[in-house]
């Protein structure tokens, strides 16, 4: 993950993820019902400059699902939940998931309950008919030892219970540190999955982010079958000397066998949301990249 994205996540208090009804979407040659969407962080500068025009361009490309990466003061890209839902509907778009970092200000340890900030996050996700409310970061202070981590995994489960009341599930999105870091000899990602209830907490597996941390998507999917209801579909190229050693690229041009990962994740990983994310562009424009990505996904039958 590029440094800019890491800083964006660490500095952002509200970024939302969830997902909506997907049962009516069935793709050719697929026995499992899936949706294909795009994470709007892929075109973050365009969304910041002119979100309406950018969403219109995505719709014209053929996208029907988006995943947000901006939720601040109860607004998505500057719009309230009901208003943003209408904007999406008018463009024939749905937002079945989005990213909001669950941070310390969202949980009151003394009262053992969520603060209004997180309750509003879940409430607004429900207004948009989302299915998954996903946190894309785990505070460093929450992963300093096993007891602390397990405590906050129970908070994750409680968030799942809160989301369940509105017909949704809570989710977690990985980076690379989950595969690099260990606590008492156990990989952080293993601890996260072993201490979250799969009925309440789904995993959004970013198949590219993990690469720099030593994680390999096919291995993880086979290790934890049925746990990955959502994927961040991403390819990677090697960038020697960079912070993570790799950066994302147009699907099918990198070192990950993305098509094989998709097939396995749908077959045994339980994946129903296939969310394209590209954060680096190798000289191309972000919009041109996500257009190419969607074309590749359609060629693969998604």
| Total Cβ atoms within 10 A of residue 259 | 16
Average pLDDT value for residue range 249-272: 97
The span from the CA of 204 to the CA of 231, in Å, is: 5
Question: pLDDT per residue over 83-99, tens digit each?
Answer: 999 999 999 999 999 99
Determine the pLDDT at residue 285: 98
Choosing among 3.40.50.2000, 3.40.50.720, 3.40.50.300, 3.20.20.150, the CATH entry for 3-299 is 3.20.20.150
Q: Residue 103: is its pLDDT beyond 70?
A: yes
168 contacts 202 by C-beta, under 8 angstroms: no
Determine the pLDDT at residue 29: 38
Q: Residue 249: is its pLDDT beyond 50?
A: yes
73 contacts 41 by C-beta, under 8 angstroms: no
- How is the chain split into domains, by residue range? 3-299
pTM of the entire predicted model: 0.90
Residue 65 corresponds to which tokens in the numbers above? Answer: 């699902």
Determine the pLDDT at residue 4: 52
- As a whole number, the mean pLDDT across the chain is 92
Residues in the chain: 302
Across 107-257, where does the E strand assignment appear?
Answer: 107-108, 113-114, 132-135, 169-173, 182-183, 186-187, 201-206, 230-233, 235-238, 246-249
Question: pLDDT per residue over 117-152, tens digit each?
Answer: 999 999 999 999 999 999 999 999 999 999 999 999
* Whole-number percent of the chain with pLDDT over 70: 89
Higher pLDDT, 80 or 32: 80
The span from the CA of 288 to the CA of 73, in Å, is: 31
Determine the pLDDT at residue 3: 46
Is 171 exposed, middle or buried, given 0-12, 13-18 or 19+ CB atoms closer than 10 A? buried
- From 297, 209, 218, select the one nearest 247 (Cα to Cα): 209
């Amino acid at each position: 993950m590029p440094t800019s994205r890491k800083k964006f996540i660490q500095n952002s208090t509200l970024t939302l993820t969830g997902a909506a009804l997907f049962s009516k979407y069935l793709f050719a040659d697929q026995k499992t019902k899936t949706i294909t969407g795009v994470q709007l962080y892929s075109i973050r500068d365009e969304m910041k400059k002119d979100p309406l025009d950018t969403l219109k361009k995505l719709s014209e490309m053929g996208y029907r699902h988006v995943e947000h990466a901006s939720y601040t003061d109860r607004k998505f890209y500057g719009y309230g939940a009901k208003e943003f839902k209408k904007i999406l509907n008018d463009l024939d778009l749905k937002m079945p998931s989005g990213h909001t970092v669950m941070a310390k200000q969202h949980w009151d340890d003394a009262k053992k309950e969520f603060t209004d900030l997180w309750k509003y996050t879940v409430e607004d996700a429900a207004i948009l008919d989302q299915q998954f409310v996903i946190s894309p970061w785990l505070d460093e202070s929450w992963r300093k030892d096993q007891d602390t981590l397990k405590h906050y995994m129970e908070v994750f489960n409680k968030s799942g219970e809160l989301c369940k009341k509105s017909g949704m599930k809570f989710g977690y999105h990985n980076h690379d540190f989950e595969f690099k870091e260990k606590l008492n000899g156990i990989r952080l990602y293993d601890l996260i999955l072993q201490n979250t209830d799969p009925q309440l907490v789904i995993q959004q597996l970013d198949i590219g982010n993990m690469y720099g941390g030593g994680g390999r998507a096919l291995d993880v999917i086979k290790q934890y079958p049925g746990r990955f209801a959502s994927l961040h579909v991403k390819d990677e190229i090697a960038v020697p000397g960079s912070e993570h050693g790799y950066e994302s690229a147009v699907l099918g041009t990198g070192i990950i066998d993305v098509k094989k990962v998709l097939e396995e994740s749908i077959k045994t990983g339980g994946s129903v949301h296939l969310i394209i994310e590209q954060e680096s562009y190798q000289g191309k424009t972000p919009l041109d990249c996500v257009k190419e990505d969607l074309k590749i996904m359609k060629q693969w039958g998604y």
